Structure 1
Amino acid sequence: MSSLEVSLLRAGYCVHPEIIAMRNGSFQLREFPAMAALIKHPEKGYILFDSGYTRRFFTETARWPFSLYGHITPVYLKKGESITEQLHLQGIEANQVRYILLSHFHADHIGGCRDFHSATFVAHQEAFATVKSLTGMRALRAGFIKALLPEDFESRLVTLKDSQAIKLPELHRPFEYGFDVFEDKTLFLVKLPGHTTGQMGLIIPESSTGGYFFIADACWQKASFRKLIPPHWLARFITADWKEYLQTLHRVHEYAGNHPHIAVVPSHCKETLEDMFNAARG
């Protein structure tokens, strides 16, 4: 059994009509939780995959033009639900988190970054390069709120480039190339483009509770990758590259079929998270 430990955290949620996430869904409003994963590595210590929402989101969206964000995508966060508050209850302080792996730079994934003053951030070079200079309406259109990042973010950022990718073991097909984060075959980042440029997912082949594939926003509901149901066409307005999105969805579908023992986890699937929370509680 692997000595790697993995647990899931929910840091707030937003609401959308279900049909936006899946084109055959209803117009009923659904909760889309903001998921983060806590990983305890036997040598590297505590690692986060994404960081969820914090109260800072509401401060930064109180002013124009980001106030539109809150109207278009209503966000809810209960007291005690930020990642740092949840970690504190587990006896883990923010300064113990050594690495934060960022799938992409939408607000629900970077919202907690400023709470971690000593962590090293890891992201794909394309993901950050695409948003770093955006301001105003262009930033809003990209779902990027720069003020959610710490002022010294770039000095603590390690960017991954395609030229650094390695050929992955056969067992990770259809993903041929990726990044062995610590060069110990415990954590692999793979590109999942389409939703945003440079989005990455995290494959954990083995842990004390099994294997995981955190697919970020490659899709929003597990039925999407299982049954190959894309979002409504309106989602194209918040998608960087629709063709790449569909290709990524097919690759995730293929991976899930090839690896039934791996838990495939979309960041915003309430059903998946609740099933995994219930399983963890035994």
Structure 2
Amino acid sequence: MMFKRCLLSLVLAGASWSALADAAHADVEFAIIKTGKTTALKGMMVSGGGFTTKVDGNFSAILVKHGQATFLFDSGLGSKVAEQYQQDMPWWARAFFKYENPVVPARVQLDKAGIPPIERIFLSHAHWDHASGLGDFPEAVVWAAPEELKVIEHAAPGLGGSWPSQVSLKSIRWQSLEFKPQPHKVFDRSIDVFADGSVVLVPMFGHTPGSIGMFVTVASGKRFFFCGDAVWRADALKDGSPKFWPASLIVDKDREQTQHTIEQMRELVKLDPGLVVVPAHDDTVQSALGYFPSWIK
């Protein structure tokens, strides 16, 4: 597979945003775009969660606004998800890794709300339920960690990697994130997207070789951490519970490193009790915050 990779740093590329965002005074807000959901036993989502209670799991994209600049963190389920799923999801996994209709793609919701075309997407990782909607945003540059770009370069049907039907589109313009040796909270490297501390990306390798997380501090001062799939539910952080072990064997590329990331997040919430951790699929946390077109400010 051929795709364009750029070795320029995000800091340099982000300079073009200076006309859109006042780094010192811009209002920062975000919205959770729920594109679809699934229902599963809680014990399938988190080890020790029990097998008598069902919980919803979301497929969401996060829309962040910094002044007049906007971007997405992940793309959620896209307009072609049914075709992608049929083409690349193994038959044996369909009973456990599924989505429910209706699907309302992020692009559809944004167009309906009159949001201008998104020009940048940061990908937490390249699994099917995070990258499905990338093809709906041909105007966007898609940023991913270099380790994740290697996964994308070798896309193949199945679980635990990335799907050709989603990431091999010629319309996708890939670029590489360049993390700086600048510690941020419990992480030893980071990218300060707007150079004002309001949006900070950090490496969270383990679930996939190039998974990333995102800190967002909104205009009110409230702090949020979007942790992708390091955990599927925030309550896993109470005792450091991993995913249900058969699921973890399938989806976590490096289980030991994933557990290390969980312990980092536990330390993180101890150091910053006011921080709201938002896993990519946690309906309980996301529903409490509300969904697009509502904004968290």
TM-score by length of 2: 0.82
- 2:241 paired residue number: 229
Q: CA RMSD in A?
A: 2.5
State the distance in 2 between where 1:153 and 1:128 align.
16
Q: Give runs of aligned pairs for residues 130-209 of structure 1, distance below 5 A.
A: 130-135=151-156, 139-149=157-167, 151-152=169-170, 156-161=173-178, 164-168=179-183, 172-208=184-220
- 1:88 paired residue number: 111
Tell me how far 1:4 sits from its aligned partner.
1.3
The verdict on how the C-alpha distance between 1:183 and 1:209 changes in structure 2, with shifts beyond 3 A counting, is closer
Out of 67, 72, 75, which is 1:51 matched to?
Answer: 75
Deviates more, 1:203-212 or 1:31-40: 203-212
> Could you tell me the percent identity over the aligned residues?
23
The verdict on how the C-alpha distance between 1:210 and 1:281 changes in structure 2, with shifts beyond 3 A counting, is closer
Give SS of 1:104's match.
coil
- 2:64 paired residue number: 39
Could you tell me which amino acid in structure 1 is paired with residue 77 of structure 2?
Y
Tell me how far 1:7 sits from its aligned partner.
1.1
Q: Give runs of aligned pairs for residues 211-226 of structure 1, distance below 5 A.
A: 211-226=223-238
Contact kept? 1:6, 1:209, Cα under 8 Å: no
Contact kept? 1:114, 1:150, Cα under 8 Å: no
Out of 24, 34, 39, which is 1:10 matched to?
Answer: 34
State the distance in 2 between where 1:105 and 1:159 align.
13
Contact kept? 1:6, 1:208, Cα under 8 Å: no
Give SS of 1:173's match.
coil
Tell me how far 1:66 sits from its aligned partner.
4.0
- 2:269 paired residue number: 256
State the distance in 1 between where 2:250 and 2:161 align.
11
State the distance in 2 between where 1:26 and 1:128 align.
36
Deviates more, 1:191-200 or 1:222-231: 222-231
Give SS of 2:227's match.
strand
Q: Which has the larger share of helix?
A: 1
Aligned positions, number: 269
Q: Which has the larger share of strand?
A: 1
Structure 2: stretches of 5+ with no match in the other structure? 1-24
TM-score by length of 1: 0.86
State the distance in 1 between where 2:220 and 2:96 align.
40
Out of 54, 60, 66, which is 2:84 matched to?
Answer: 60
Tell me how far 1:71 sits from its aligned partner.
3.4
Tell me how far 1:64 sits from its aligned partner.
6.5
Give SS of 2:187's match.
coil
State the distance in 2 between where 1:272 and 1:65 align.
28
Tell me how far 1:31 sits from its aligned partner.
2.0
Q: Give runs of aligned pairs for residues 108-127 of structure 1, distance below 5 A.
A: 108-127=129-148
State the distance in 2 between where 1:88 and 1:238 align.
33
State the distance in 2 between where 1:274 and 1:64 align.
30
Tell me how far 1:15 sits from its aligned partner.
3.4
State the distance in 1 between where 2:190 and 2:232 align.
22
State the distance in 2 between where 1:262 and 1:90 align.
29
Tell me how far 1:92 sits from its aligned partner.
1.2
State the distance in 2 between where 1:76 and 1:254 align.
35
Show CA shifts across 1:191-214 (max 9, x none).
112211110000113435722110
Contact kept? 1:224, 1:230, Cα under 8 Å: yes
State the distance in 2 between where 1:175 and 1:186 align.
16
State the distance in 2 between where 1:51 and 1:213 align.
17
State the distance in 2 between where 1:64 and 1:158 align.
24
Out of 261, 268, 282, which is 2:281 matched to?
Answer: 268
Deviates more, 1:199-208 or 1:236-245: 199-208
Tell me how far 1:32 sits from its aligned partner.
1.1
Could you tell me which amino acid in structure 2 is paired with residue 102 of structure 1?
L
Structure 1: stretches of 5+ with no match in the other structure? none
Could you tell me which amino acid in structure 2 is paired with residue 165 of structure 1?
K
